[in-house]
Amino acid sequence: MITVLVADDQAIIAEALAALLRTESDLEVVALASSAPESVRRAAELEPDVVLIDVQMPGTPDCRDGIDATAAIVAARPTAKVIVLTTFGRPGYLRRAMEAGAVGFIVKDASADRLVGAIRRVTAGLRVVDPTLAAESLSIGPSPLTQRETAVLQAAAGGGTSAAIAAAVFLSEGTVRNHLSAAIGKLGAGSRAEAVRIATDNGWL
């Protein structure tokens, strides 16, 4: 029996996935999680064979999304098999997910058979990655942003003032402006909003 933890903040999707997987005689859904930190906690408590996790989930500064949660889950238990299942098939997400330790990356418009097959394949020690996304990920390369620039740009995505961003990332306003300027330059953007859009479209945020 393959045990599975389903982590998705949209209850309808999480419950539908669980119901789908429970129709398979060799799969057992042991729990659902609705946030990145909860995913880490539940994975530690239950030690499922496979964690099926979304990218964009509620988080904390220490565990912001499903990719951060993936890294934490794998760090705590290297044998854990994490499959990232997301609506957003962005090449940058794929690269970040695999760097975090995921062994699978599937978009949510995949068929039920493909999802179930992916769970069985990663349990057998294989990887499951969309080949088109893999090629795109190689073509765009890694994010040019530093960790600080990424954090500042993420905080800027909400459209707040420099003071609000500074408070969110625990930096001075001057340092925030410097990081924003550097990010805008690296991304070839003409404004903060355009930098956020470029980074988001590439899956770097």
Kindly indicate the confidence band of residue 143, based on its pLDDT and cuts at 50, 70 and 90.
confident
Task: Say what the pLDDT of residue 132 is.
Answer: 67
Which segment of 104-113, 139-148, 156-165, 174-183 scores lowest on mean pLDDT?
A: 139-148
Q: Is the pLDDT reported for residue 134 higher than 70?
A: no
Determine whether 56 is exposed, middle or buried from the number of CB atoms within 10 Å of its CB (0-12, 13-18, 19+).
Answer: middle
Same CATH fold assignment for domains 2-139 and 147-201: no
Q: Is the pLDDT reported for residue 51 higher than 90?
A: yes
Helix (H, G, I), strand (E, B) or coil at 84: strand
Kindly indicate the confidence band of residue 73, based on its pLDDT and cuts at 50, 70 and 90.
very high
Kindly indicate the confidence band of residue 75, based on its pLDDT and cuts at 50, 70 and 90.
very high
Strands 104-107 and 2-7: unpaired
Task: Say what the pLDDT of residue 154 is.
Answer: 87
Q: Is the pLDDT reported for residue 46 higher than 70?
A: yes
Q: What CATH number has the domain spanning 2-139?
A: 3.40.50.2300
Q: Is the pLDDT reported for residue 26 higher than 90?
A: yes
Q: Are 46 and 84 in contact (CB under 8 A)?
A: no
What is the pTM (predicted TM-score) of this model? 0.72
**33 vs 205, residue with greater confidence:** 33
Q: Going by CATH, does the domain composed of 147-201 fall within 1.10.10.10?
A: yes
Task: Say what the pLDDT of residue 135 is.
Answer: 57
Query: What is the radius of gyration, based on Cα positions, of the chain?
Result: 18
Task: Say what the pLDDT of residue 139 is.
Answer: 57
**185 vs 202, residue with greater confidence:** 185
Task: Say what the pLDDT of residue 136 is.
Answer: 63
Q: How far apart are CA 19 and CA 36, in angstroms?
A: 21
Domain ranges of the chain: 2-139, 147-201
The proportion of the chain whose per-residue pLDDT surpasses 90, expressed as a percent, equals 57
**98 vs 19, residue with greater confidence:** 19
Strand segments, DSSP code E, in the chain are 2-7, 27-33, 50-53, 81-86, 104-107, 128-129
Task: Say what the pLDDT of residue 72 is.
Answer: 97
